[in-house]
Structure 1
Amino acid sequence: MSAALHPAALDALRRKVRALETQDRVTRAVLPFGVPPLDARLPGGGLALGALHEVAGGAEEALYGATAARFAAGILARAQGEVLWCRRQADLFAPSLAQAGLPPSRVIFADAGDEAGVLAAMEEGLRWPGLAGVIGEVGKLSMTASRRLQLAAEKSGQIAIAVRRWRRIADAADLGQPTASETRWRVSTLPSSPLPPSVPGVGRPRWFLELLRCKAGDAFDIELEACDAKGHLRLPAPLAYRPAGADAGQGRAVA
């Protein structure tokens, strides 16, 4: 029977693995968010291209997925080319995607009917040249399915985004299961940014964005204003002038 590793040796091994993962991603192309405190916490300074990313909504948004869908739309709005959007049901509100910078003219909708069909359509779409990326709406995402998508994304260089949404709140616990995705995000809505007293109307929507998992990086959270009509996020005004390290929440180590 082999002896257990000493805690110090185990920590050293973890650091070595983390360094190897980071080295492997140094030259990988990324899509920056354009928000310094956010990009500074991501390996390479942005969202990795040629990779699978997961996005889910917080609380009841885990069922409807509207905020997660808008966040995903804002990401690919800043990439070049059309977007393949694979969905189980035709309940996506297209004007909301346009408000996040992704007009209907850039979206190819694939109504797959069920999750198996969505995953198959995503994998096939990642083989198409010229797409900005592929988005698919799924609840359950196994290690095998996510690994297939990750490998397909690596080969094509496209961004793959799994928008996680479930039929019941209890099913959202599946978000904690391991997958092969590069990052895992959760987006929750906050009260809109306040407007000056003399200005009527409602301010820009705000989000609480959590990076729950990141290969070769740490988890953290940050409060941001939602995507604008060009897909750009923005720091709320009181946070915009803080040092980069002060805007994000406390980081948590990720195994």
Structure 2
Amino acid sequence: MRETPALAQLRDQIARIEGTAARHAHLPFGIEAIDGHLPGGGIAAGALHEIAGSRELADDAAATVFLAGILARFEGPVFWCLRWRDLFAPALHLAGLHPDRVIFVEAGNDTHVLTAMEECLRHPGLGGVVGELGKVTLTASRRLQLASGQSGVPAFLFRRAHPVDARAEGSAAVTRWRVRAVPSERLGIPGLGRPRWELALERARGADPHLWTVEGCDAQGRIALPAQLADGPAAQEGRQAA
């Protein structure tokens, strides 16, 4: 049956409300097992996402680098809103996010962080807006999702140093990620292997939760599957699950 203009308009309105309108691009990870599991095949621009570590400092550091890698691959300046500036900015460059692209907004408290995020999200052309927050109400997350959808700028709620169980809170975020550091590959000679993370997609509209073991971001902000997972039976299982 041919779709009428009225029905097409209704579908488009629903997509915009859900924050999944096709008019916004998606940034792929470049890993079939992950991209194939995400609606749109990647991280949606014009949408709100949540990223968290855990109570461990190593996990918070991994989550920071994971977020920096995503932002590095979006074009445009990045506004990073936080209560006070306690982030080691030069480390972001290790994941491809040059410090010259990042503008830090020291807001003082969570309320002002939310205000700053919403104001920044009104300006198209940004590479992303980050807000380091503890507890976020459903209403506040909806306002951020709406602002992000209107401008097309990706928004990120970052739970660094905030051991909050985001799953217990209502949220309008399109995806929710949790990153944990895991042991790196053992090398035959003394040295440091590429960092490895347990990357959990705890929530995604239109997809089931999933878990991957990945290698940390390189200098271009890209993650990878460990060789034995990319080439072995686990890779096939991941593709089937995706």
TM-score scaled by length of structure 1: 0.81
Q: Say if 1:84 and 1:135, in contact at 8 Å, map to a contact too.
A: yes
- Choose the corresponding residue for 1:100, options 80, 95, 104: 95
* Post-superposition CA distance 1:8-32 (Å, at most 9, x none): xxxxxxxxxxxx869x655642110
* Post-superposition CA distance 1:26-55 (Å, at most 9, x none): 564211011111101000111111000000
Q: Say if 2:24 and 2:152, in contact at 8 Å, map to a contact too.
A: no
* 1:175 CA displacement: 4.0
Q: Aligned to 1:192, what secondary structure does the other structure show?
A: coil
Q: For residue 38 of structure 1, what is the aligned residue in structure 2?
A: 34
Q: For residue 5 of structure 2, what is the aligned residue in structure 1?
A: none
Q: Say if 2:184 and 2:195, in contact at 8 Å, map to a contact too.
A: yes
Q: For residue 188 of structure 1, what is the aligned residue in structure 2?
A: 180
Q: Say if 1:25 and 1:44, in contact at 8 Å, map to a contact too.
A: no
TM-score scaled by length of structure 2: 0.85
Q: For residue 239 of structure 1, what is the aligned residue in structure 2?
A: 229
Q: For residue 196 of structure 2, what is the aligned residue in structure 1?
A: 206
Q: Distance in 2 between matches of 1:120 and 1:61?
A: 27
Instruction: Identify if the C-alpha distance between structure 1 residues 177 and 159 changes in structure 2 by more than 3 Å, giving closer, same or farther.
Output: same
Q: For residue 60 of structure 2, what is the aligned residue in structure 1?
A: 65
* 1:90 CA displacement: 1.2
- Choose the corresponding residue for 2:214, options 209, 224, 248: 224
Instruction: Identify if the C-alpha distance between structure 1 residues 248 and 97 changes in structure 2 by more than 3 Å, giving closer, same or farther.
Output: farther
Q: For residue 5 of structure 1, what is the aligned residue in structure 2?
A: none
Q: Say if 1:204 and 1:225, in contact at 8 Å, map to a contact too.
A: yes
What's the C-alpha RMSD, in Å, of the aligned pairs? 2.4
Q: Aligned to 2:29, what secondary structure does the other structure show?
A: coil
Q: For residue 152 of structure 2, what is the aligned residue in structure 1?
A: 157
* 1:176 CA displacement: 2.3
* 1:250 CA displacement: 6.7
Q: For residue 148 of structure 1, what is the aligned residue in structure 2?
A: 143
* 1:247 CA displacement: 3.1
Q: For residue 170 of structure 2, what is the aligned residue in structure 1?
A: 178
* Post-superposition CA distance 1:129-184 (Å, at most 9, x none): 321010110011110110010000000101101101355x4xx2344211000000
* Post-superposition CA distance 1:187-217 (Å, at most 9, x none): 000112332x1x4310000000000010111
Q: Say if 1:115 and 1:138, in contact at 8 Å, map to a contact too.
A: yes
Q: Aligned to 2:165, what secondary structure does the other structure show?
A: helix
Unaligned runs of 5+ in 2: 1-13
* Post-superposition CA distance 1:63-109 (Å, at most 9, x none): x8322221111101001111100111211011221111111111011
Is it true that 1:52 corresponds to 2:48 in the alignment? Answer: yes
Q: Distance in 1 between matches of 2:208 and 2:166?
A: 21
